[in-house]
Amino acid sequence: ETGVTQSPTHLIKTRGQQVTLRCSSQSGHNTVSWYQQALGQGPQFIFQYYREEENGRGNFPPRFSGLQFPNYSSELNVNALELDDSALYLCASSTPGPTNTGELFFGEGSRLTVL
Amino acid sequence: AQSVTQLGSHVSVSEGALVLLRCNYSSSVPPYLFWYVQYPNQGLQLLLKYTSAATLVKGINGFEAEFKKSETSFHLTKPSAHMSDAAEYFCAVSREDSGAGSYQLTFGKGTKLSVIP
């Protein structure tokens, strides 16, 4: 069984640039969620994708956007980067439906530094 | 709105001693509660979850947690700490995003556990 994989693992950008982070979900999982974890904080929900559509969103501005592809992999895009966007971005996959009560399977994250 | 409060950002215990990590939650509906562990430079791994079955939940690596509705608590315990338990622990509560059919987790700020030899 293949777990959640994310790329790149580390990257450095400058303020105002754009970034794309990628995620492959765990085998058999068709729902992907993205979380932002700032230094010393718990992860915060950005959004979730199911069947290639956004299916729930946290309190993040529109410059945070995403995609899900037919193979259930996903991208997180952040435009007009700000210094406060520096964080570990975590992707998590799950299966939808009544048996899913929020249990998520996380990747190891992409650490973004904005200078 | 949901929230999670973890008391103590850093807890130190001696190897072999009891581990107690505290978590209190607020939720307008019966919650689903989770404990996740994060080792350095890694993602989060599920330790255990409460989903309205038994109030005492057993997880991996000898950890367990007790759901106490009257105290709105879900504290994590382990009878005897091991060096390999040193990590950061996150308590989380889940809610369904109304109308979207999706669940999102609200995490606490985490408690870093150090184990002293």
Per-residue pLDDT of chain A (115 residues; tens, 9 = 90+): 568 999 999 999 999 999 999 999 988 888 899 999 999 899 999 999 988 999 889 999 999 999 999 999 999 999 999 999 999 999 999 876 655 666 888 999 999 999 9
* pLDDT at B98 (0 to 100): 55
State whether the Cα torsion A22-A13-B36-B39 is positive or negative. Answer: positive
Which structure tokens are listed for B34? 């989770």
3-state secondary structure of A104: coil
Nearest to A90 among B43, B104, B108 (CB): B43
DSSP secondary structure code for residue A25 in this structure: P
Scanning A22-41 for CB atoms below 8 A from B yields: 31, 33, 35, 40-41
**Residue that is written with structure tokens 């669940």 in the block:** B103
Mean pLDDT for all residues in chain A: 91
Scanning B1-20 for CB atoms below 8 A from A yields: 4
Which structure tokens are listed for A21? 């982070």
* pLDDT at B104 (0 to 100): 83
